[in-house]
Structure 1
Amino acid sequence: MEALIIALPGILIAYGVFVMGMFSPGPNILSIMGTSMGVGRDAGKSLALGIASGSLIWGLLAWGGLTTVLVAYASLMTIIKIAGAAYLLWLAFKSFRSAMSQRDLTAKALSLNGGASAYYRRGLLIQMTNPKAALTWTATISLGLSPDSPWWIGGIIVLGTGFISFGGHMAYALAFSTKPMVAGFTRARRWIETGLGMFFCFASYKLVTTRA
């Protein structure tokens, strides 16, 4: 229990980073939105489940990899945290740059044969072939880990973000199946991206200032 209390601030920040990341639509989110609008909610939901499943797999891989590294080379945690903080700053830069741009959201539909299973497999493939997922998960999990953290702390982070991932991706499939919802999100995009940039800066600071 004491270990959980000590790690709780980092765990909560990790959850926050994951939630904020989902508010910034990338190709995965845009494919869900476009498919829900252009093909239908059922297709969007299946695609969302596939993407969320891939995200969970990446989380498990990152957890296992970091735990193994820390057991063998605890001193590498400082390097991992610095790398994670740098990546969070890069996400902040991208959010601020996006907030200042005039671009509109481009949500393209995926038209596949084979029903729900085809969309699920495509979502899983999209996520598992996304190299940025590994960096995102490494930065997220390292927020709650230290060399003396019990192995199950990473499991709590993966479990919690797994629920967030499935719930969030399904929410996109359900809510953004109509053009008015996408239009409303587009109007609020700059404020959302600015807030994301600020949060990523905060998370980067916390990552480098917490004890390794």
Structure 2
Amino acid sequence: MTLTLLESFKMLSLLSIGLAFFVIAVSPGPATLSNATIAMSRGRKISLIYGAGLSTGLVFWGIIAASGLGVILQQSVYLLMILKVLGGVYLIWLAFLSAKSAIKGDSLTINMESAPKDNSRWFIKGFLLNISNPKTVIAWMAALSVGLGENDSTAFLVLGVLVCVAVGFFTNALYSFVFSCNGVMALYQKANRWVNGVVAGLFSFAGLGLIRSAFNR
């Protein structure tokens, strides 16, 4: 059975949300780089446990973001426009930070001295890292607003959240698998400037696109 035009548009919107969240989730930062370091120093199993904790922390902020965004969508179309602009500005700010790191060649070092010995505590450690960062909710709202419109239902909003949750778990698992391979972390450190430069470009493209979509009515 062929998809209707509306169904195709909804699938494209969900794909846009997923891609936007992937760009945000995969970019180098405290959570992803700590997971990468743990994968190299402690192995794939512990990194996967730690990554699951990180992803669960993302779920918490996703629920908060979706609840607030649902109210906004029901109240005003213009508030959605403002949200998209703010989300775009936030992405451009992340682009600036990545570009700054690329120019300076900064790299994040992780303190592993206080690492827990109990495997179950790695989950808690990852969960606490992401849940302690309220700015994550802004990233969620930026990603969700990419594919959401004023006429979208609550059910579609829930689908968007579920897509982002799946992307979050996939991204952290991807870091665990990739960085547990021999020599990958050393390669990353050597290519740190290039990685941050590419991330800056992706954030700029996504941010400008989001601001542009806010005024396309």
Could you tell me the TM-score, scaled by structure 1's length? 0.87
CA RMSD of aligned residues (A): 2.2
Q: How far apart are residue 56 of structure 1 and its match?
A: 2.0
Which of 75, 97, 100 does residue 100 from structure 2 map onto?
97
Is the CA contact (8 Å cut-off) linking 1:98 and 1:193 kept in structure 2?
yes
In structure 2, what is the Cα distance between the partners aligned to 1:5 and 1:28? 34
Is the CA contact (8 Å cut-off) linking 2:49 and 2:122 kept in structure 1?
yes
Is the CA contact (8 Å cut-off) linking 1:99 and 1:191 kept in structure 2?
yes
Quote the residue 1:180 is aligned against.
Answer: 183
Task: Say if 1:127 and 1:27 are closer, same or farther in 2 by CA, change over 3 A.
Answer: same
Quote the residue 2:17 is aligned against.
Answer: 14
In structure 2, what is the Cα distance between the partners aligned to 1:68 and 1:57? 17
Structure 1 stretches lacking a partner, 5+ long: none
Q: What's the CA shift string for 1:70-116, capped at 9, x where partnerless?
A: 11333311111111111011011112112112223424335114x23
Quote the residue 1:58 is aligned against.
Answer: 61
In structure 2, what is the Cα distance between the partners aligned to 1:61 and 1:204? 22
Kindly report which structure 2 residues correspond to 1:1-212, keeping only aligned pairs within 5 A, or say none.
Answer: 2-109=5-112, 111-113=115-117, 115-177=118-180, 180-210=183-213, 211=216
Is the CA contact (8 Å cut-off) linking 2:40 and 2:185 kept in structure 1?
no
Is the CA contact (8 Å cut-off) linking 1:47 and 1:123 kept in structure 2?
yes
Q: How far apart are residue 123 of structure 1 and its match?
A: 1.1
Secondary structure at 1:206 match in 2:
helix
Task: Say if 1:169 and 1:70 are closer, same or farther in 2 by CA, change over 3 A.
Answer: same
Q: How far apart are residue 141 of structure 1 and its match?
A: 0.6
Q: How far apart are residue 192 of structure 1 and its match?
A: 2.4
Q: How far apart are residue 10 of structure 1 and its match?
A: 4.4
In structure 2, what is the Cα distance between the partners aligned to 1:47 and 1:88? 26
